[in-house]
Structure 1
Amino acid sequence: MYASALIDQRLLTGARRAIARALRALPVSQHHRVWPLMCRLAYLPGCPAPTAVRVLRRYPQFDPAHAEELVAFLVSAGRFREAAEQLTAAIDDDGGFRSAKGTTRRQLLLDLCELLAKHPDGVAGMPMEAILCSAARKFPEEAGVLWRTLAGYYARKGIHSKARDVFEEGTTTAATVKDIRLVFESYLHFEHAVVAAELDKGAQQENSASALQCCWLADKDNADLNMARLERLLERRPEMLNGVQLRQNSHASRRGTTG
């Protein structure tokens, strides 16, 4: 095929134009023969990222089942917000999206959570809480993952007080032992990291000749406060587990009364 020969010769502009002409000339029923060439063109190392993105954006319009390929490319190109928007659209598409790879909407949700948590700056401006709360309503069995993701997002942004608020809400609303363990372990890891960072910061300032004594005392106070938070969290673990069991018993009692 002419376009294939152009691709082999790395004549990208000519190949793109030839494929575009073929798509315009052929009936839609034959587009499936052309799109693999267009995708091959987009994935070539020499293809400019903006061109590749434009090409791969059009592919899901022809076959929505291949939206994951666009998401993967956007992530590799550092376009995290657009990738998150594409994943959100696929998750919210009730009954319309069918993955060519057999990926479930639940797995897409977990992929979205991982993307949001790992690249908070890259997805700035997205309504994080609204997205995750909507996901929690659709997939209540993943509530623990969602709380952990949202808290991790705020932690990476450096908003530690907000991260703690989310962890606290997650521990007080968890409906299963699996969820409480997941949230608690993430909460514990977070507090350990905060304590370690404060101690390291205090040690660096203590060893620095330019550090003022008052600053060192302030850091020590912060370290002591964070250590107290960590110890208190460890003490509350049995209380949190009991809370989950009480909520489970309450739900079971209501179901029994209704029945």
Structure 2
Amino acid sequence: MTDTPVVVDRAGAVATLTLNDPEHRNALTGAAKEALRDAVADVATDEGVRAVVLTGSDRAFCLGQDLAEHAEALTGGAEAAFATVREHYSPIVRNLLTMPKPVIAAVGGTCVGAGLGLALACDHRVFASGVKLATAFTGIGLTFDTGLSVTLPGAVGDARAKELILFGRTFTAEEAIAWGISGETAAADEVLPRALALAQQLADGPTTAFAQSKRLIGQAHGLSLDEALEAEALGQVRCGSTSDHAGAVAAFLNRQAPVFTGR
């Protein structure tokens, strides 16, 4: 296990979080989960970060929970072993889904179990062509965590989500995209560069509009129609109060390209 389980790099307004245990295909130990939880929380509130990339080292993304460590934790009972769901997985996924900036997953290899949950908690994904994905949970007698009970059926529908959790079969990135998991594929050595380019494109965009859009989508299923319409009205006022909006309207009228500052 590396001494730095999660590496954080900032290049301008883009922050890259890299799971950094290639020897174990970036399996999630307690140290890795704590480091990732804290790193995600930090970039979520850092106003200098306008887009985030989540990736794994050495062409792996994430194998999921480190099962050797999990087996040891089980000796203390299930309550103790699965405290990690509330302490680590849930806050990581909550912040990925709700942070007011776009998050892109660069999935260059192994992506199963909690790794799949992390990838689906991001807003967009760049997959290595042909990379294999799996839920993997029922193969060891478990059910969903890392938000997959929400994000997987939300992307592929209830019936497909049941198939993937009940039978636990692996599937390719190309199948995932065809089923509705947003993303694109690239050659393995182009996955991270492509993800970084997309993140930079988003970092150069209207930050407040992105934040409000994520918020509206995230809460829509829990609102009535009237509540959703009111939330849209409030979101538009918030976006309309920014200099980004005023500047973009002026640029349009002057037949110029808009420049967004995030303000």
Structure 1 length as normaliser, TM-score?
Answer: 0.31
Higher RCO (CA < 8 A, seq sep 6+) = 2
The structure with the larger Rg is 1
- The normalised TM-score by structure 2 is 0.30
Say which structure is richer in strand.
2
Greater per-residue helix proportion: 1
